[in-house]
Amino acid sequence: MKHKKGYRRGYPVAVLVGFENDHAVLWHVFSHVAKLHFTLKLSGERTDERALYKFHESVIGALRPTLKEGIRSIVVSAPMKTTYAKDFLDHVRRHHTYLIQLKSANRATFAELVGSADRPHKVAELVKTKEFHKLIAETTSDEVDLIVDALKKRLRSTSSDSAVLFSLKEIEDRVYDPKRDDDSEKKYLILTDKFLADNEDKGRINRLLLIANNRKIKTRIVNAETPAGRRISQLGGAVFFTQPNE
């Protein structure tokens, strides 16, 4: 039953942070569903700068494990006619510039959206909107470009410390082998949406994505029509590679 649940969940897409007056709700957005991750309370009033600072820091702290796993597309939302989302993004710019610097290895991509995201039904409506899908396409495109840049450097490298695999069978053997779990290296699995659509054995691909996610492999599905997608298509449509942690 757990396998079926993961199958329906799909692959990770982004994190949605819904700000309200006295709390924030973090959601993990997958390709098929959004899952509640964390609810954080504001201890005090928004007019209390110290309390608001601690609140924003608690959100950053809750985001860190997800960012470490490689999910770097963050959509921040708040109800209409409020500044809650803007206040948080201003906090990021002032106190966590490493998250927005273009050349930072820890860079994340933030986007702002108008709408309440503190209840499942509200989130379900929000993630179906064209605006949300547009934001996700923009943020994940930036994120994937960074990963593809890392792949290009790996392909140019003569080092034997990292692996690059293009064959689906080789990728499966690598991903399914529990002995190859190694926290000393970053692991990436990139597939194009065309590769997914054209593959006749959807169960095989979905199982690969599920196991990869469970093993903390940074998995991304790339639009085949984008520059990054065209590069992955040139390599066969599916690529697995590793990098030593810096």
Q: Is the pLDDT of residue 7 over 50?
A: no
Band (pLDDT 50/70/90 cuts) for residue 237 is very high
- State CA 191 to chain mean position distance: 15
For position 6, what pLDDT does the model report?
A: 42
Is pLDDT at 168 greater than 80 in this prediction? yes
Walk me through the domains of the chain, giving residue ranges and CATH numbers: 2-128 (3.30.420.60), 153-244 (3.30.1330.30)
Grade residue 5 by pLDDT with cuts at 50, 70 and 90: very low
State the pLDDT at residue 160. Answer: 61
Mean pLDDT of 157-169: 78
- The pLDDT score that the predictor gives to residue 156 is 81
pLDDT recorded at residue 33: 84
CA 84 from chain centre, in angstroms, equals 22
* Residue-wise pLDDT tens digits, 190-227: 998 889 888 888 888 888 988 888 888 888 888 888 88
**CA-based radius of gyration for the chain:** 19
HEC letters along 62-113: HHHHHHHCCCCEEEEEECCCCCHHHHHHHHHHHHCHHHCCCCCCCCCEEEEE
Query: Which residues are CB-neighbours of 232 under 8 A, at least 6 positions away?
Result: 148, 190, 191, 192, 195, 222, 224, 238, 239
Task: Please provide the average confidence, as pLDDT, over all residues in the chain.
Answer: 85
Q: Is 73 exposed, middle or buried (0-12, 13-18, 19+ CB in 10 A)?
A: buried
- Residue-wise pLDDT tens digits, 26-83: 999 887 788 999 999 999 999 999 999 999 999 999 999 888 777 788 999 999 999 9
Query: What is the pLDDT at residue 159?
Result: 64
Classify residue 129 by its DSSP letter: S
Contacts of 206 (CB under 8 A, 6+ apart): 7
Q: What is the pTM of this model?
A: 0.71
Q: Tell me the two tokens of residue 233.
A: 């298509």
- For residue 163, pLDDT over 50 is answered with yes
Q: Tell me, what's the pLDDT at 4?
A: 45
What average pLDDT does this structure show over 88-107? 86
